[in-house]
Amino acid sequence: MPMDLSHRAYLEESMDVLSTYGEYRRCLHDLDSVSRLVLAHRATLHFLNRIAATNPTQPINILDVACGDGSMLRRLAKWAAKRGLSVRLTGLDLNPWAIDVAREFPNTTPPIEYVVSDVFAYEPLQPIDVILSAHFTHHLENHDIIRFLNWMERNARLGWFVNDLHRHPNPYRLFRLLGAVAPWHPIIISDGLISIRRAFTVDDWQACVLAAGIGEAVPAEEFPARVTVTRLKTPSQLLPA
């Protein structure tokens, strides 16, 4: 029988209850392999190119929510260096093991600051220009997604970007096939399938942004197998620096 993907499935994932640091670190490493395989970072970098085009000479303070092992932030450090951009990079994650893994990687230029915190309890020391999240929102229930959208809208001066999975039969079938041959940790495969079932359609996101009262945010399908939400603030909407 085909998997019913007509609605979000609120199933529990296993990765955050792993009992050993080594196993957790391996899962984060495998997650990064999956992300690179499916070009997960491409949409986020495209969004940041748009931000940089409108702020070419100003330092950009970027916060990555649920940063995991910091792989996105390390890509951002290379992206900024290649373009000669001044950026301040901060990674936030609730799981202290994730931050420990991130800190094992060599220092970047510019350096990345890592913080262990619940996003809703986080109090930035400096105003945030851009807030990013990738593969985070599918872990939340709808009421917390709306809360998160409002939190980003209040705190991001220039804009924010959500990059998450597309709940659709094609990525579900493809990931199941990949999981049968890829050398990934079994939890990455089982949690990955659950994550797709917990994920979103464009219509889901449209309902969320309207419920949050942020009609300017734009949900869209992005190849391959993801849905993004883009919020670029106009000059009249910019928060003070």
Query: 138 with 200: CB under 8 angstroms?
Result: yes
- Say what the pLDDT of residue 58 is: 83
**pLDDT tens string 111-120:** 999 999 999 9
- Say what the pLDDT of residue 1 is: 54
- Say what the pLDDT of residue 72 is: 97
> Which helix (H) or strand (E) element contains residue 114?
strand 112-116
CA distances from 4 to 9, 58, 183, 189, 198 (A): 9, 47, 27, 18, 11
List the 87-93 sheet strands across, edge first: 112-116, 87-93, 60-65, 128-134, 156-165, 226-232, 218-222
For the chain, which domains are there?
22-233 (3.40.50.150)
**pLDDT tens string 38-58:** 889 999 999 999 999 988 778
CA distances from 215 to 52, 150, 151 (A): 23, 12, 15
- Nearest Cα neighbor of 89 from 102, 77, 103 is 77
**Mean pLDDT in consecutive groups of 10 residues from the start of the chain, 241 residues:** 85 84 94 91 96 86 98 96 95 97 93 97 93 97 97 97 97 91 92 96 98 97 95 73 58
- Say what the pLDDT of residue 66 is: 98
- Say what the pLDDT of residue 199 is: 97
- Nearest Cα neighbor of 60 from 125, 156, 148 is 156
